[in-house]
Structure 1
Amino acid sequence: MIRLTSTLATALAVAALLAAAPAPANDTVASMGAGGLVLEKTDGITMLSEDLYLSRDEVRVTYRFLNHTDEAIETIVAFPMPDIEPDWMGSVNGPTPDPMRTLPFITRIDGYSVPTQVEQKAMLDGVDVTRRLQRLGLPLIPYFDSLEGPVSELSEAQIAKLVADGLMESNVHDDGSRSSFGLWTLKTTHYWTQTFYPGEEVRIEHLYVPVVGGTTATGVSRPGDHWPEYDSKYCIDEPVRAAVARRQADGLQMRDSWLDYTLVTGANWSGPIGDFRLVVDKGSEDNVVSFCAEGVRRISPTQFEVRHANFTPTRDLNVLIVQGDRYE
């Protein structure tokens, strides 16, 4: 069942009452400035189409580009991943991977695999703290499960300084163990140099495993301070809450997962996206999913589709999955 509601932008929003799915980003043109990659707008290259598939286990996206000028254009193409925000929780897909080393990210140009470079920055209140963390031997992912081991190698004075400077929260428990998580945001961008020849289409594909944030229990079916944010970010309405409540009444343990996809950089190309297609794969029928979009239709027992012609994205895609777990 799909229910249409209104969004803050007065557009239609869709809350799909099923599923699971993941997310991350959109190709854009960039330049390499002194502070790293700078995303820019180009007037010479058109995005003919974008075909995006989101699931809990993988993200697949295929673009078709056309250089509509009379000259070849060589530029840096950047694929910004969603920010990894401060949180006690790690990825609900399992141990949080390091995007620099273990996070699979495959890029193909016209069917051929090409290597990409990666820029990562740890940002705190607009300040780049990457080098400071690296000097201390700390990973750039701010999650507890990534920091637990490295923080144990620091001195008490170093930990106290990080806490005092607002970089980290750290607590010592009664048994002497310590829990810490970072307060910075990790920004990751994959990029490479691409030549677009005049009048020729270029097909670019990305495939990767998403990092999925979440909670151990859902906040959808109980009142709380975060409901207003949930409502506007994921377009949650009463049918969504009712769907979660029904599953809980049937004995399912419900927990939240958050999936984000950086969509607005698709507006950096010349003109709108000619043909935009999104497929969200719901996974288990025990799950509930809610996200803001227009024109959602169900195309299979597990998948929902959104299609737009001449599409200019105005907001990023945020997906809330309320996952239902059955325990014997």
Structure 2
Amino acid sequence: MRNPIPLVLATCLGLSGPAVANDGFGGLSSTGLTFGQTDAIAMVEEDLFIGLDAVRVDYLFRNITGSDITGEIIFPLPPIHVGGLMLSDWNLPDDLLGENLVGFTATVDGAPVRVSVDRQAVIEPPWEERGPASAAYDAPGRDVTADLQRLGVPLTVEPTVAVAALKAMPSATRARIAAEGLAEFYPSAENPDEIYPAWSIVLRYHWTQTFPAGADLRISHSYDHLPPGGIFVWQDPPKDDYLRQIADRYCVDASTSRGIARRLAGGSSGDGYFTGMAWNIDYVLRTANSWAGPIGRFRLTLDKGSERNIISLCATGIEKTGPTTFVIDKRDFVPDRDLQILIVSPLEN
């Protein structure tokens, strides 16, 4: 029997050379706001909404000290591999030249705030050398921002712009760039200028915020959700090692497994496998542990997008509140793991 590989986690980060495109598309994980470790500011409430197209978060913070506290509020995106964008489809906007890639907006006590965006270029370490998922949001790897700026290469995620800058370099500079691991060159008779940038771009949205002494402050932000996904293959029960790994990662129990098979029945290959589409949503919750104490009240609303979609994640206390929505409500919540959500859709959707 053949052993299909579901392309539900397809990204092209860390690729070391040319590769063919596949049926998966890359995308972006998400994280909460960071402020640095503090014992002065408590997260009283977090109301988080995650849908296929949007993420919205409302926070209520409280300064539990007698002094004003000022610092930088940061919302980081995970690294975006510029060369990887050339090798596979990505769930990103058509225009990659815009400053605000995900349409991020924020308000403080209902009033819009001016959010700055900075960019850092990094050479990420191999997958096997990377730390836990939440650590990946702190610009992992070697910082090559100054190197690219010295060479006149724009800090953009648009690969055509980066490649054009590299093509304009003299051959001696290209050789030095290759030796430093900044890019890979694959000249051939057909394409003497085949170039793959090796760096990733980290975008950070941030602003300076003062938390008044002893007072509450409500901060809200929203942005376009651009998760990865692709063609999804399932069997019930999952017997292949890779499918069992998916079941473990997203806590796909026997009932959910049967539900996925029934929902994808129209995509049956006739040999026990079922084909559909899937999105893989990661949201880093453990950044909340950098604030003082537990989250007083945590409310998560999930929207699977369509009544025909199947959702699965590792969580307790999930209540269905509508045709496509589910809610988790917790008190004095200390996140000990990040959210990993699987949404499966029939091909006809």
TM-score by length of 2: 0.70
1:189 to 2:195 alignment: no
Q: 1:172 to 1:223 in 2, by over 3 A?
A: farther
Q: Which amino acid aligns with 1:230?
A: I
Equivalent residue letter for 1:236: V
Identity %: 32
1:163–1:278 Cα change, 3 Å: farther
CA offsets 1:127-184 (integer angstroms, 9 cap, x no match): 012344454636553xxxx424642564395778766765567778998699876554
The 5 Å alignment of 1:212-223 reads: 212-215=227-230, 217-221=231-235
* Distance in 1, Cα, partners of 2:281 & 2:186: 28
2:126 is the alignment partner of 1:117 = no
Conservation of the 8 A alpha-carbon contact between 1:133 and 1:140: no
* Map of 2:249 onto structure 1: 233
Q: Which residue of 1 aligns with 2:220?
A: 205
Matched, 1:54 2:50: yes
Aligned-partner Cα distance in 2 for 1:278–1:25: 14
Residue 76 of structure 1 aligns to a residue whose secondary structure is strand
1:218 is paired with a residue of what secondary structure?
Answer: strand
Aligned AA (1:323): S
Q: Give the direction of change, closer, same or farther, for the CA distance of 1:167–1:240 in structure 2 (3 Å limit).
A: farther
Which residue of structure 1 lines up, in the alignment, with residue 88 of structure 2? 89
Question: Structure 2 counterpart of 1:103, which letter?
Answer: V
Distance 1:138 1:228 in 2: 42
8 A contact 1:23–1:59 mirrored in 2: no
Matched to 1:248, the amino acid is L
Aligned position for 1:10: none
AA aligned to 1:318 is Q
The residue aligned with 2:301 is 279
- Look up the SS of the partner of 2:159 in the other structure: helix
Gaps of 5+ in 2: 1-27, 126-140, 269-274
Tell me the CA shift for residue 199 of structure 1: 2.1
Instruction: Quote the residue 1:248 is aligned against.
Output: 264
1:28 is paired with a residue whose SS is coil
2: CA distance between counterparts of 1:182 and 1:229? 32
Alpha-carbon contact 1:79-1:190 (below 8 Å) kept: yes
Task: From the two aligned structures, give the one with the greater strand fraction.
Answer: 1
More displaced stretch, 199-208 vs 165-174 = 165-174
Task: Give the C-alpha shift of residue 83 in structure 1.
Answer: 4.2
Question: Is the contact between residue 155 and residue 201 of structure 2 (CA under 8 Å) also seen in structure 1?
Answer: no
The answer (yes or no) to whether the contact 2:121–2:155 under 8 Å persists in 1 is: no
State the Cα deviation string for residues 216-272 of structure 1 (Å, max 9, x = none). x11444876644553443223444443333233224961232222221111111110
In 2, Cα distance between the equivalents of 1:173 and 1:149? 21
- CA–CA distance in structure 1, aligned partners of residues 335 and 226 of structure 2: 23
- CA drift of 1:287 comes to 2.1
1:17 aligns with none
In the alignment, the residues of structure 2 paired with residue 84 and residue 263 of structure 1 have an alpha-carbon distance, to the nearest angstrom, of 20
What CA deviation, in whole Å up to 9, does each residue of 1:7-57 have, x standing for no partner? xxxxxxxxxxxxxxx96221221xxxxxxxxxx211111110000001111
Q: Secondary structure at the match of 2:225?
A: coil
Match of 1:67 in 2: 63
Q: Secondary structure at the match of 1:265?
A: helix
Q: CA RMSD in A?
A: 3.4
Structure 1 position 208, deviation (Å) = 0.7
* Cα deviation, residue 118, structure 1: 2.1
- CA, structure 1 residues 325+219, in 2 after alignment: closer, same or farther (shift >3 Å)? closer
Partner Cα separation in structure 2 for residue 242 and residue 178 of structure 1 = 50
Matches of 1:28 and 1:266, distance apart in 2: 8
1:314 alignment counterpart: 336
Unaligned runs of 5+ in 1: 1-21, 30-39
Are 2:293 and 1:297 aligned? no
Which of the residues 285, 299, 303 maps onto 1:263? 285
Q: State the alpha-carbon separation in 2 of the partners of residues 240 and 264 from structure 1.
A: 27
**Matched residues in 2 for 1:294 and 1:185: separation?**
36
Shift of 1:113: 0.1
Deviates more, 1:84-93 or 1:159-168: 159-168
Contact persistence 1:151–1:159 (CA under 8 A): no
TM-score by length of 1: 0.74
Q: How many residues align?
A: 291
SS of residue in 2 equivalent to 1:203: strand
> Structure 1 counterpart of 2:338, which letter?
D
The match for 1:103 is 102
| Deviation, structure 1 residue 315 | 2.0
